Amino acid sequence: MRLFIVPTLGTRVREAREALGWKQDELANASGVSQQAITKIESGTTKRPTCINALAKALGVSVDYLETGSANASRDDPTIEAESYMLTAKSALGESISSMRAINKSRGKPDNEIDQPLLVRAFEISLRAKLTGDYLTAALELQDIKKTQK
């Protein structure tokens, strides 16, 4: 059962691109990076792209966000910082919903049943992990939630 996914540079590029409503070719046009290179980055084939600065600029996020998931964006541009935080929170929310569904399934409840306190707690854990980079503690905390929810 999947409780927590550690995002990669590729998933952050894809999420940022999708948040803009772009297809890969649109990101390619905006960044000057080939669509083939973007496909390789998003699939995880390319782990350390040399074009990361161009991608970050086109996506309106910081290089730090793409590399680490940290919402600490460039302090020179508050719109980039806000967008990085929004993408981080959106990703954390998606992971917390997945965690809540997995916990519901393990408890024999419908996976789409909303347990608000559980969802809030899972979101807090996921967002803290994304902001600090401490995914191990987050995974352990989610395991603790699963145990206490039985």
Domain boundaries, the chain: 9-148
Pick 16 or 148 by higher pLDDT: 16
- pLDDT tens for 125-140 read 888 777 776 667 777 7
CA triple 13-18-19, angle to 5 deg = 100
Amino acid at residue number 69: G
Look over the chain and give the mean of its residue pLDDT values, rounded to a whole number: 79
Total residue count of the chain as it appears in this document: 150
| Distance, first Cα to last Cα, the chain | 15
Domain 9-148 CATH class label:
mainly alpha
The confidence score (pLDDT) of residue 87 equals 76
Q: How far, in Å, CA of 99 to CA of 78, rounded?
A: 31
**Which structure tokens are listed for 60?**
């309106």
- pLDDT tens for 60-108 read 888 888 888 776 444 445 555 676 677 778 878 888 888 888 888 888 8
Q: How far, in Å, CA of 125 to CA of 66, rounded?
A: 20
pTM summary value: 0.51
Mean pLDDT (whole number) for 37-44: 93
- What DSSP assignment string belongs to 36-62? HHHHHHHHTS-SS-TTHHHHHHHHTS-
Look at residue 4 and tell me whether its pLDDT is greater than 50: no
The confidence score (pLDDT) of residue 31 equals 92
The confidence score (pLDDT) of residue 35 equals 94
Place of tokens 């990085």: 84
What residues contact 22, with CB distance under 8 A and at least 6 apart? 30
